[in-house]
Structure 1
Amino acid sequence: MSSPLHPDNDLTINPSGNPAIADLIEQRKLSRRGFLKGSFGATAIAALGGSTLADSLSNLAHAAPSPIGGIGFTSVPANIAPMTDAITVPPGYTARVLISWGDSLTNAPHWDPSTPMTEAVQLRTYGAHTDGMHYFPFPSTGAGGLGNTRGLLVANHEYVDPGLVHNTTTYSTDAMTLDWVNTQLAAHGVSVVEVQERNGEFGVRRPSAFNRRITGKTACTVTGPASGHPMLRTAADASGTQVLGTLNNCAHGHTPWGTYLACEENFNGYFGSSAAALAAAPLTAHERRYGMAQGGFGYRWHEAEPRFDFRATPNEPNRFGWVVEIDPWNPNSTPMKRTALGRFKHESAGVVVGSDNKVAVYMGDDERNEYVYKFVCAKRFDAKNRAANRDLLDSGTLYVARFNGDGSGVWLPLVWGQNGLTSENGFADQGEVVIKCRQAADRVGATMMDRPEWVAVHPTTREVYLTLTNNNRRGTNPASSNNVDGTTTAASARPAVDAANPRPDNRYGHIIRWRDTGGDVGATSFEWDIFAECGDSLSPVAHLQGNINGDDYGAPDGLWFDNDGRLWIQTDQAGNALGDWANIGGNVMMCADPATGETRRFLTSPRNCEVTGVTSTPDGKSMFVGIQHPGEDWSGSFTANSTWPDSGVNGPTTASGMGEVAKPRSSVVVITKDDGGVIGS
């Protein structure tokens, strides 16, 4: 997470505080009862079985403290320094490695991690740095149906560590080649993997007609208002409709019509240019707003592949930063970049179907002082005709959120011709609005947030939860905002604290939640409160202690609801249990009760990794969890910080069966309860 190739959690110390804002939140914060009663949708009430709206509201308001029946496991201890290089889960649970970077998706041999990766090998093996994921069950009916034992696991591959890819400790000075670029492109993207339970354990089905790699070179079709736009046209694609590849797929989403949404996040870091080229043609305001820089994140692809030189191909960056829809059930389908959902550093996409079959997609832009978005489809979901939903994400209204200090909020439309989004202000059409989505949000006055990341939607109430990971620029002086004319350099503003982001130097982050008015996903207003301010309860600084009811955690990132309404929270901090994290320990997965706020530590991770991506079988008895970049920030030796998962320290090794550990590898583990029960119960 702290790696230059994965830049985000750059923390500083600011001793100042602003208790007045915190006091305001406590004074004006909606009670749990009032929050639910004021915004609960009639259809959601009916789903709870209430005989009338009034009766249901009354029953809900006076319900038992925990509608999920509590959290049924004992917390595991924090993995503090000196850290254990393993996964720990509660007694009565078992975690096994399912698949790791380089494991084959075919009958061909697995990659030998002691050798450099090649493009040919990577195209038939599981990609690098696994992230968001979803389990698509095979058709199933009733308890014990096929879908609980066989499905498609679809997972993102966010980025790569070039040193591990090419077996080099001197990547920054090595000669860059096109072969190296192509190998790294192949390690990015998405994997579709058929998994099946045999003899009580899940494994990868090889071969499978469904197993598939989508990479940084896979042809994708551009749809929606930016399709064919002049700002997307290049010499290689004069139509502006065909993009090679999807990159930096962080979190994800999934649709009720059975497709997967891969979200492109830190795409800017793959592009660069020369000092001479930038001296002749300096960065434009548009490029600065999206964080373009001469050296990018240090991948150096532009040295061997001109399409990643943003002076040689200035429109190529505009072709990334989108939500990409993938049909996992059709191996011959073409991924679609759905531009109506806006261009920014997409972290995730939470899809919700309302009581009237309206469809909304909730999204966060993962950078300091960026925004929260909602897209409402123009057409409605057709549960009886999958084909009718195929292009549902191509037309509708894109909104950005303004969080008011009294617990109310407004969805501001990002529609060309409205709210200053006109030609006079640099928006020639709706295509330019979505391409320059950040500038449009600046113009309409949205609320700058503390790195909006994953979205999770409660399975019954449609209440939306969002992680705000951290912001070391919040509350620092002198205060500044994103300029209304869209000229602010990405992440450079220094906003004051506000009700929705109440802490200066928000190093530990928080989780916010909201409910659209009347339970209508198409509503243009909402009510919100803060679910948790994360922190270290042992910190001597009061505003760093947080308000967690239970075990401490910080830097919340991954977020997911199981079918019973438990909220699972994954963290993304430095991962070494040092400094600000000495008491909290390494990264974790927590389980929280949304009604009571009780939070328990379910999983601790190996050293120097991120816990990211979680999904389960429909019966909740097999859970899939991603472990990304174990051993990050190694120096000298690939295994300086971790040898997981091949060390054998954490039970069975991956299918590669390496006798000598060559390097740590991102992996997916499958967790089961030893008594065969539901995870978390």
Structure 2
Amino acid sequence: MTDTMTAYSDGDIDTNFSAASPHLNELVDARYSRRQALLGGISAATAAVFGGAMLSACGSSAAEQAPPVTVSAGGSIATTSGRTVTLTGTVTGAALSSGWTQVSGPPVTLTVVNAGTATFVAPSVAVATPLVFRFTGTNASNVSTTADATVTVSPAQLGFVATPKSLADIVAVPTGYTVTVLYRLGDPILSGAGAYANDGSDTMFSRRAGDHHDGMSYFGLAASGNAPDPTNSSRGVLAMNHENITQAYLHVGGSTAPGGIRPEAEALKEMECHGVSVVEVSRSGSAWSYSPASSLNRRVTPLTQMRFSGPVRGDAALKTVFSTDGTSGRGTINNCANGTMPWNTYLTAEENWAGYFKRETGDVATRGGASAKANVSLARYGISENRPGNYGWATVVPADTASTIYARWNVTARAAQPADGTGDFRNEAFQFGWIVEIDPFDAASTPRKRTALGRMNHEGCQIGRTVAGVRPAFYMGDDATNEYIYKFVSTAAWSAADATATDRLAIGDKYLDAGTLYVAKFNADGSGQWLPLVFGTGPLTAGNPAYAFSSQADVLINARLAGDALGATRMDRPEWTAVNPVTGEMYCTLTNNSSRLATNTDAANPRAYADPKSTGGETKGNANGHIIRLRESGDTSEATSFAWDIYAFGAGSDLDPTNINLSGLDATNDFSSPDGLWFGLPSNISGQSTPILWIETDDGAFTDQTNCMLLAAIPGAVNDGATRTVTNTRDGASGTQATRVGKAPGTTLKRFLVGPKECEITGIHSTPDGKSLFVNIQHPGEGGNAASISSNWPANQSGGSATGSRPRSATIVITRDDGGIVGL
């Protein structure tokens, strides 16, 4: 056998002889002329094709390299979360490329403007945090030169100049912001309703926007179809409440009642103006509009079919001639605040529902006397004898003699009818005062009244932070003088998978139909307890001398009586609740309390004083209201105890700083009667690390100086202030009261918006990106009438002549002119 050995050859053995690829020289010649090659050198030509790595490998000398470029990354930058930062780099010398990359710090998305410029939005941080960015310039030899820029991001700050107080008939916002009127009373949303004439002649309000726009939520929609998309900030549905009506503007010449009988057409219009709207909205460029023909559009009114769920479903107290088994009912009314559920449903709260019912003289005796349970219950909720009922709907004689849509507003028991209520409407009032859940993505679904959350003057229902495996809490105020703050803790522990379920009301069944309702007791030392409203425990038994509770359903129907029995703390009109998405702390507005005396204050409701008006007269009690906050023990929604303090006291900046203006408010942030309350969403920087708290007012005490307003705050935390002792003086009496006051807000609280004449600012939500803020303007010009119009808003918002135009409640959208996050 013969071995043939091939010696090493530095030849063309592994050379590619294919004609498909050009030779090096051909590549060079294709890009550079002979003159350019001579001027720049073969090194530069080769770098254009292969880059600097080949030059290094070839060992070219420095003389053959292109000269390096010089770069600058600019100076250090200081900014705050949510602000847009511009990085500007410069290159001196001939460069093939340049650009920015992030080296360290919380990651951000860089948007390239040009080769030397990039922008990003400063991320949310809790403390000052450096971010380093590198600017790189590359020369023709593919040699890079770099320079670094450090951007130090501090926690979010309010990024606008405070809006001055105003008595003008317009919505005013800071410079750099734009207001768009989106959805007004009477706007058509369903087929059959024509354009709104706004002269009192309009009908078909079950197909139009209702009146008194109030609590509101935005739900993102998929780009096409009707499925939820919680990330979509350009297409969504707005669900909003229509709390009440400005009756004087709804009819041609005002309301009438010839012979004490309301005309059916007027009463029907007024009823249909109450309830809830669900309407699709979208943004094209920077312009928002609503879709009048969307299949998602819906009106829920006092006439809409309802289903009861939870412990009270089927209880004897819910039985009427309409629902003899106590499982269903008609409508929802006086819907004020709201709740946005993580499984994409809308909660609406029935607030001042009791005033709509007529009760004739003699009804107490028919029901068994003053000590009869039904009479005790009706009285505790404000339904006394000889009351006509709001708007006199019960007086209507309908054309359809079989109709009961008007008779239901009279709760007088008829002696000739069965005592169980199945023959009349004696129990109709017990069908109201609940939290109602609506699926905004299914216009054919039946809303559910969630009875496990108790019956009261519900002022919204705000869910706390959701943590997997932990039972969520839902916070509620009872909006009436000296009423209580409540919390409902679900029996079901939270599962993140429920957020994307398609049977959304079934998820509501899971979390809202079983659990424990609690009422709050605030102690003088800054601690508090959640007292359970559970039948058979403590005083909640048949042996209670004030009211003999017979079941858990009885306790829930009469949550106020249960709170009385447990010794809960009587508060200064508890209204909206809001939960800080970062800390879990719950805030609650206590709007005011004219009955608060110098002798009956407590630590959680510490002020009683007289507030003189520049126009004459004065308001008394806790005239300007305050905002209380609490932090659950162990930071868990399941806690039965908490710590509390008062975040801010409403007051004019000219009032006594020692005993009234306890938060040190000035002309940029003084306010009165806080009502609406909402934190920015955690899907954007306004709800991260140091979230924005939005505060809306519904005021009668400060209106000599300003219309109602919206303020933005970046609050601290419970117990960031100190204990104070207040000296109260009212009606010749005086007394001292110790309380717990949060750190003075200073520049972390600013007035953002002032509304038109005689309005309330209420209802607030935003798109997921925080760049569009929806706000409701309720009852502008409410003091006028058709013959003497006191506001022309919103027809005058764009600056044109609107003389003679009747005012309309409306939803507005606020955006920043630079496209940034609102408020920061």
TM-score range, shorter chain: 0.7 to 0.9
State which of 55, 72, 97 in structure 1 corresponds to 2:159. 72
1:368 and 2:476 matched: no
Conserved in 1, the CA contact under 8 Å of 2:248 and 2:786? no
Alignment-derived partner of residue 415 in structure 1: 534
Q: Which has the larger radius of gyration?
A: 2
> For 1:98 and 1:523, how far apart are their aligned partners in 2?
41
Q: Is the 8 A contact 2:128 2:155 kept in 1?
A: no
- 1:231–1:280: structure 2 CA closer, same or farther, 3 Å change rule? closer
The one of 607, 627, 632 equivalent to 1:503 is 607
Aligned equivalents of 1:589, 1:244: Cα separation in 2: 34
Counterpart in 2 of 1:631?
781
Cα distance in structure 2, aligned partners of 1:276 and 1:516: 47
- Which residue in 1 is equivalent to 2:817? 674
Q: Verify the 8 A CA contact 2:359 2:389 in the aligned structure 1.
A: no
Does the aligned pair in 2 maintain the 1:536–1:546 contact within 8 Å? no
After superposition, the C-alpha distances for 1:427-461 in whole angstroms (9 at most, x for unaligned) are 11000000011000000110000000001111111
Q: What is the match of residue 808 of structure 2?
A: 665
Give yes or no for the alignment of 1:381 onto 2:381.
no
Match of 1:135? Answer: 218
Superposition pairs of residues 173-572 of structure 1, within 5 angstroms: 175-275=261-361, 284-293=375-384, 294-295=386-387, 298-304=390-396, 305-312=406-413, 313-355=425-467, 356-385=469-498, 386=501, 387=503, 389-391=507-509, 392-425=511-544, 426-475=548-597, 496-504=600-608, 505-539=621-655, 543-550=659-666, 551-563=669-681, 564=686, 565-572=691-698
Q: Following superposition of structure 1 onto structure 2, how do residues 81-92 of structure 1 map, counting pairs within 5 Å?
A: 83-92=167-176
Deviation, structure 1 residue 568: 0.5
The Cα shift of 1:110 comes to 2.1
Amino acid at match of 2:250: V
Residue 145 of structure 2 corresponds to: none
Q: Which has the higher strand share?
A: 2
1:602-641 equivalences in 2 (<5 Å): 602-635=752-785, 637-639=787-789, 641=790
Deviation, 1:296, is 5.3
What secondary structure, in the 3-state scheme, does the structure 2 residue paired with 1:181 have?
helix
Contact 2:353 2:432 survives alignment (8 Å)? yes
Output the CA distance in 1 between the equivalents of 2:306 and 2:248: 28
The offset of 1:161, in angstroms, is 2.2
Unaligned runs of at least 5 residues, structure 1: 1-47, 50-58, 478-495, 654-658
Instruction: Report the Cα distance in structure 1 between the residues aligned to 2:660 and 2:198, rounded to whole angstroms.
Output: 41
Amino acid at match of 1:125: R
Structure 2 residue matching 1:442: 3-state secondary structure: helix
Percent of residue pairs bearing the same amino acid type = 41
Q: Secondary structure at the match of 1:163?
A: helix
SS for the counterpart of 1:612 is: strand
- What stretches of structure 2 of length at least 5 have no aligned partner? 1-104, 107-124, 131-152, 397-405, 414-424, 609-620, 717-742
Q: Whole-Å Cα distance in 1 between the matches of residues 664 and 242 of structure 2?
A: 31
In the aligned structure 1, how far is the partner of 2:800 from the partner of 2:568? 49
**CA pair 339-94 structure 1, distance change in 2 beyond 3 A:** same
> Aligned pair in 2 of structure 1 residues 530, 515: CA closer, same or farther (>3 Å)?
same
Superposition deviation, residue 572 in structure 1: 0.1
TM-score by length of 2: 0.68
Query: Mean Cα displacement is larger for which, 284-293 or 129-138?
Result: 284-293
**Aligned CA-pair RMSD:** 2.6
- Give the aligned residue type for 2:694: W
State which of 157, 166, 169 in structure 1 corresponds to 2:254. Answer: 169
Please give the alpha-carbon distance, in whole angstroms, between the structure 2 residues aligned to 1:210 and 1:573: 35
CA distance in 2, matches of 1:520, 1:364: 20
Cα distance, 1:591–1:234 mapped onto 2, change above 3 Å: same
- 1:275 deviation in Å? 3.9
* Higher relative contact order, chain-length normalized (CA < 8 Å, sep 6+): 1
In structure 2, how many angstroms separate the alpha carbons of the residues matched to 1:103 and 1:62? 48
Q: Indicate conservation of the 8 Å contact 2:236/2:282, yes or no.
A: yes
Alpha-carbon shift at residue 207 of structure 1 (Å): 1.1
Q: Cα offset for 1:254?
A: 1.2
CA gap 1:526/1:310 in 2 versus in 1, 3 angstroms: same
> Which deviations, in whole Å up to 9, do the C-alpha atoms of 1:143-184 show, x marking residues without a partner?
x99711000110000011222222333546663133333222
User: Quick one: distance in 2 between partners of 1:63 and 1:367?
Assistant: 45
Partner SS state of residue 390, structure 1:
helix
Are the counterparts in 1 of residues 311 and 552 from structure 2 also a CA contact under 8 Å? yes
Q: Give the corresponding residue for 1:93.
A: 177
Q: Which residue of 2 aligns with 1:11?
A: none
Using the TM superposition, give the Cα deviation of residue 539 of structure 1 relative to its aligned residue in structure 2, in angstroms. 2.5
Relative to structure 1, is the Cα distance of residues 158 and 252 closer, same or farther in structure 2, using a 3 angstrom cutoff?
Answer: same
Query: How many Å separate the matches in 1 of 2:664 and 2:774?
Result: 26
CA contact (8 A) 1:630 1:664 kept: yes
Give me the whole-angstrom Cα distance separating, in 1, the residues matched to 2:428 and 2:696: 33
Verify the 8 A CA contact 1:365 1:372 in the aligned structure 2.
yes
Q: What is the CA distance between 1:320 and its match in structure 2?
A: 0.2
Q: Deviations over 1:633-667 (max 9, x none)?
A: 2256251x211112x244489xxxxx764421100
Aligned mates of 1:376, 1:243 — CA distance in 2: 26
Deviates more, 1:99-108 or 1:186-195: 99-108
Aligned length: 587
Q: Distance in 2 between matches of 1:372 and 1:263?
A: 14
Instruction: Work out which of the residue numbers 772, 791, 805 in structure 2 matches 1:642.
Output: 791
Which of the numbers 715, 723, 727 marks the counterpart of 1:594? 715
The DSSP-based 3-state class of the residue aligned with 1:147 is coil
Q: 1:318 to 1:67 in 2, by over 3 A?
A: farther
CA distance in 2, matches of 1:130, 1:636: 20
SS at match of 1:375: strand
Cα separation, partners in 2 of 1:116 and 1:279, compared to 1, 3 Å: farther
Residue in 1 that maps onto 2:420 = none
Q: State the distance in 2 between where 1:402 and 1:664 align.
A: 42
Distance in 2 of aligned mates of 1:90 and 1:626: 17
Q: Provide the rounded CA distance (Å) in 1 between the counterparts of 2:677 and 2:392.
A: 32
Give the equivalent residue in structure 2 for 1:12: none
Report if the CA contact (8 A) 1:354-1:520 is conserved.
Answer: no
SS in 2 for 1:401: strand
Deviation at 1:567, TM superposition (A): 0.6
Report the AA paired with residue 791 of structure 2. Answer: S
Cα deviation, 1:591-621, whole Å, max 9, x if unaligned, reads: 1111272211100000001000011100010
- Output the CA distance in 2 between the equivalents of 1:296 and 1:75: 45
Q: Distance in 1 between matches of 2:435 and 2:679?
A: 21
How far did residue 580 of structure 1 move?
A: 4.6
